[in-house]
Amino acid sequence: MSSADPTPPDPGPDPTREAHARTQFAALCWREHAGALQVLLVTSRDTGRWIVPKGWPMSGRSAFEAAAREAWEEAGVEGAIATDPMGEYDYRKALKSGAELPVRVELFPLRVAREADAFPEAAQRRRRWFAPHKAARRVAEPGLGALILRFAELWAHGRGAAPGRATEAAPSDLDHAARG
């Protein structure tokens, strides 16, 4: 590069993002209850730790549609989901082989309108509503905890308005969209 070239050299790969990371889509399920924000967490099937509903990309579904579908399957909730992610966090998924897979998760706020008693993974998971600061402490991923707290700050400033555009998404709507 000559001294007249204003283009800076490529700094190389982002050290905060691991190469070959897979992407998942998650729903940050929330509601206003008695004037306070609450966040819904579910337990993972393997370790029983507290997580948000999340899963792998789904053929024929957008990222937010996949996140809404996971919210239904893993937590039994439906509602209006943001069409754009509010942020991302990273974690390492333990595989049955003992290896770990780096995963980047895109997080979509979902305002819960309906909560079902019967849902696909009801027998495999527990679900519980938490105040945001307690939810942030319960999750193992620091990046997810930070996003939960950031969402709570945005919610407090907007008093109930989730950041970003949202669309109503029910499992039947998502099935129709996937067949589209």
Residue type, 61: R
Where does the pLDDT of residue 6 fall: very low under 50, low under 70, confident under 90, or very high at 90 and above? Answer: very low
pLDDT band at 7 (very low <50, low <70, confident <90, very high): very low
Give the domain ranges of the chain: 22-175
Indicate the average pLDDT of the chain: 84
Closest CA to 163 of 66, 81, 89, 77: 81
pLDDT(1) > 90: no
The confidence score (pLDDT) of residue 95 equals 85
pLDDT in tens, 77-86: 999 999 999 9
Write out the CATH class of domain 22-175. alpha beta
Judging by beta carbons within 10 Å of its beta carbon (0-12, 13-18, 19+), is residue 66 exposed, middle or buried? buried
Asked whether the beta carbons of 54 and 25 are under 8 A apart, the reply is yes
The tens digit of pLDDT for each residue in 42-78 reads: 999 988 999 999 999 999 999 999 999 999 999 999 9
